């Protein structure tokens, strides 16, 4: 069995998101009983997903790390394949499709978590279609690469932009990532888009810094040099 740690960023009082976290934790505990699961709930104030993940990685004792959102289910076989490829690539994105589970199916899973373990029962709408494929949701990475790029940029507040910047830094400093063919499944919960993130504009400007330095090692190192070590 592959030795790795699982980190799940989480910060919400919403009961549905808490139910999703419970399902996700049960899911990965069942398939990977020897892997330590660390819930990254202690970020800065206001909450920073980036800071929370960085703190959690400090606790991880393994070289291989899976960073997984608290509403994402990734098939065991896909994760194992991705973890094995970390011997070749520094970062694996183990999906090219995001399947949104319906509200009905998600609520059924919340009531009966064992249903999530049966992949043939997981079905829903492909979120992406012809849209650009995101880089968040789940990342499999070597801890050595994570530390080399100083983890996630803690200037990001809340959610938004941190995943894109993280992958841009990893690709530039550690080497290109590998994306696998396969699905990840997103549990339904009430959307918080209406509330928005008051820090979105600032987050977007930080993301632009990383995009402008993509594949420009000297420029990327200059960005990282201004950040504190995790």
Domain count, the chain: 1
Give the per-residue pLDDT at 189: 93
103-111 vs 15-31: helix crossing angle, rounded to 10: 70
Q: For residue 49, tell me if it sits in a domain.
A: yes
- 214: closest CA among 178, 186, 172, 182? 172
Give the pLDDT confidence of 96-111 residue by residue, as tens digits. Answer: 999 999 999 999 999 9
**The whole model's pTM is what?**
0.94
Domain with residue 31: its CATH number is 3.90.550.10
pLDDT of 194 strictly over 60: no
Q: How confident is the model at residue 46 (pLDDT cuts 50, 70, 90)?
A: confident
Give the pLDDT confidence of 196-226 residue by residue, as tens digits. Answer: 667 778 899 999 999 999 999 999 999 999 9
State how far the Cα of 63 lies from the Cα of 41, in Å rounded to an integer. 21
Give the per-residue pLDDT at 196: 60
Q: For residue 143, tell me if it sits in a domain.
A: yes
Range of the domain at 132: 4-225
Is residue 154 within 8 Å of 227, Cβ to Cβ? yes
Across the chain, mean pLDDT equals: 93
Q: For residue 117, tell me if it sits in a domain.
A: yes
State how far the Cα of 22 lies from the Cα of 28, in Å rounded to an integer. 10
Give the pLDDT confidence of 128-175 residue by residue, as tens digits. Answer: 766 778 999 999 999 999 999 999 999 998 778 999 999 999 999 999
State how far the Cα of 4 lies from the Cα of 32, in Å rounded to an integer. 9
Q: For residue 230, tell me if it sits in a domain.
A: no
Give the pLDDT confidence of 173-184 residue by residue, as tens digits. Answer: 999 999 999 999
Is residue 193 within 8 Å of 166, Cβ to Cβ? no
Q: For residue 112, tell me if it sits in a domain.
A: yes
Q: For residue 176, tell me if it sits in a domain.
A: yes
Question: Mean per-residue pLDDT for 19-31?
Answer: 98
């Amino acid at each position: 069995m592959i030795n790795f740690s699982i980190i799940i960023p989480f910060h919400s009082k919403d009961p549905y998101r808490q139910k999703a976290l419970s399902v996700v934790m049960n899911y990965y505990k069942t398939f990977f009983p020897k892997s330590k699961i660390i819930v990254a709930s202690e970020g800065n104030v206001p909450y920073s997903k980036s800071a929370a993940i960085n703190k959690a990685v400090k606790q991880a004792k393994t070289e291989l790390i899976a960073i997984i959102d608290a509403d994402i289910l990734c098939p065991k076989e896909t994760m194992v394949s991705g973890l094995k490829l970390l011997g070749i690539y520094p970062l694996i994105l183990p999906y090219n499709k995001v399947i949104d589970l319906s509200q009905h199916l998600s609520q059924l899973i919340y009531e009966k978590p064992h249903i999530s373990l049966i992949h043939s029962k997981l079905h829903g709408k492909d979120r992406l279609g012809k849209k650009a494929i995101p880089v968040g949701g789940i990342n499999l990475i070597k801890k050595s690469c994570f530390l080399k790029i100083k983890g996630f940029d803690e200037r990001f507040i809340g959610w938004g932009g941190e995943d894109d910047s993280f992958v841009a830094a990893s690709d530039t400093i550690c080497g290109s990532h590998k994306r696998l063919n396969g699905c990840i499944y997103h549990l339904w919960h009430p959307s918080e888009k209406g509330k928005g993130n008051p820090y979105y504009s600032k987050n977007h400007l930080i993301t632009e810094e990383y995009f402008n330095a993509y594949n420009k090692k000297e420029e990327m190192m200059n960005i990282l040099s201004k950040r504190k070590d995790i």
